[in-house]
Amino acid sequence: MRRALPVSLALWICGCAVVASRGEYRIYRKLVLEDSPDEQVRLVHRHEREYPDGLLASKVARIRHRLDERMYMATRNEAGLVAYLRAFPDGGHATSAAARLDQARRIRLAREAAERAQEEADRRAALQAEQQRRRWFRGAFLGWVQILSRVSSWNSPMEAFLAANEEFSTVWRDEGTAPVCQGDVCTREFPHDYYIRRTAQTRIDRQASFLLRVHTTGGLVTRIDVLIKGQGFLAWRELEGQNDIVPDDPEQVADARERAKTALAEMIQTAFPGGAPADAAAEPPVGVLWAYARETLRIELLSAPEGAPEPPGDGLTFGYAPPPPPEPAPPARRRGPRSRP
């Protein structure tokens, strides 16, 4: 915005106009009346370009010096330094401004690099957390398989069994809900809430439970089950695949069971080396998908048919299999009397 011209200044300009060219005078007059620093800078450079040796050059130089000082003193950030150097690339503070600008740029670039690194770290952490969330059932089974691979003292009383297996005993006694015993079976339940992501804003909430069951025969520990209660392997499949599984769809059920079989068989053979796949035949209603035997231990991968009372879910059972009794020695042959020659 232009301001009103004082009378004294108007008279002085008129005097200048007598000796300065009309074009130079017109630029100078606009410069004096202009309030905008950016427009003043533009007019200063125009005068320097068109009238470098003009009669008003010294007056324009003084105005330029004031603008130079004012703009430099107003610089507070990278944008201000860029504006100053653009206005006065050869100004009185150009060297200092260039050094400050270089430092400001290096600081900004370092900050942006740190922010990008943090964003990448956050992205990777979120991805890892999401993978762990989806693979919860897989991780839970793997943890139990590893614990049970270190179990000893099968076919011993419960207290002796727990005393001999501290790792198993710690989980059995200290985590989750208290064991519930009915007859020869004691069960601990470990609930787990999970969800299936439908969109970025919507999801389906689910709940499943891990069952840890200890069976005794005649007061001796002979079998341990690790099961997913309820939907069983279907819950595992829908969490890992983030797909809503339809229990009545035979193809989805078969796919869930096959995937579980592949994963669990690999875990078992890794944790229990030296064994071999065994006959998976079982009496109904239990569905044995796969079996593995090593020494006195038989491991079966179970998938209970719908509506079956036992087992109450899908998973693994680790059973003590006593070695068969030794075969009786054949009767000694009776040696008859020797015939005389």
Residue 15 lies in a domain: yes
- Stated as kind and residue range, the H or E segment containing 301 is strand 297-302
Distance CA 51, CA 23 (A): 9
Assign 227 to helix, strand or coil. Answer: strand
Q: What domain range is 291 assigned to?
A: 135-320
Q: Residue 330's pLDDT is what?
A: 72
Is residue 223 domain-shared with residue 308, that is, in the same domain?
A: yes
Alpha-carbon torsion, ordered 20, 26, 27, 32, to 10 deg: 100
Segment 16-21 long-range contacts (CB within 8 Å, at least 24 positions apart)? 16/55, 16/56, 16/59, 19/55, 20/54, 20/55, 20/56, 21/51, 21/54, 21/55
Residue 99 lies in a domain: no
Among positive and negative, which fits the CA dihedral 63, 67, 73, 74? positive
Residue 261 lies in a domain: yes
pTM to 2 decimals?
A: 0.67
Give me the tens of pLDDT residue by residue for the chain, a chain 341 residues long.
Answer: 455 445 344 444 444 445 689 999 999 999 999 999 999 999 999 999 999 999 999 999 999 999 999 999 999 999 999 999 999 999 999 999 999 999 999 999 999 999 999 999 999 999 999 999 999 999 999 999 999 999 999 999 999 999 999 999 998 887 656 789 999 999 999 888 999 988 888 899 988 888 999 999 999 999 999 999 878 999 999 999 998 888 888 899 899 999 999 999 999 999 999 999 998 765 555 688 999 999 999 999 998 766 666 678 899 999 998 877 777 767 766 665 555 55
Q: Do 304 and 287 contact (CB within 8 A), yes or no?
A: yes
Residue 113 lies in a domain: no
Q: Do 289 and 302 contact (CB within 8 A), yes or no?
A: yes
Exposure pattern of 294-316 as b/e (b: 16+ CB <10 Å)?
Answer: beebbbbbbbbeeeeeebbbbbb
Is residue 203 domain-shared with residue 59, that is, in the same domain?
A: no
Q: Do 106 and 129 contact (CB within 8 A), yes or no?
A: no
Residue 333 lies in a domain: no
Is residue 193 domain-shared with residue 296, that is, in the same domain?
A: yes
Is residue 45 domain-shared with residue 160, that is, in the same domain?
A: no
Q: Give the Cα-Cα-Cα angle 261, 263, 264 (nearest 5 degrees).
A: 65
Give the pairing of strands 313-320 and 203-217: unpaired
- Final residue of a domain: which of 74, 95, 119? 74
Q: Do 128 and 120 contact (CB within 8 A), yes or no?
A: no
Distance CA 273, CA 336 (A): 52
User: How many domains in the chain?
Assistant: 2
Is residue 61 domain-shared with residue 141, that is, in the same domain?
A: no
Token output for 67: 């603008």
Residue 1 lies in a domain: no
Residue 161 lies in a domain: yes
Distance CA 264, CA 245 (A): 20
Alpha-carbon torsion, ordered 77, 83, 86, 88, to 10 deg: -90
Task: Give the DSSP letter of residue 86.
Answer: H
Q: Residue 308's pLDDT is what?
A: 62
Residues 6+ apart with CB under 8 A from 303: 232, 233, 257, 260, 287, 289, 314
Token output for 207: 């709940």
Distance CA 207, CA 177 (A): 16
Residue 326 lies in a domain: no
Q: Residue 50's pLDDT is what?
A: 93
Residues 6+ apart with CB under 8 A from 281: 288
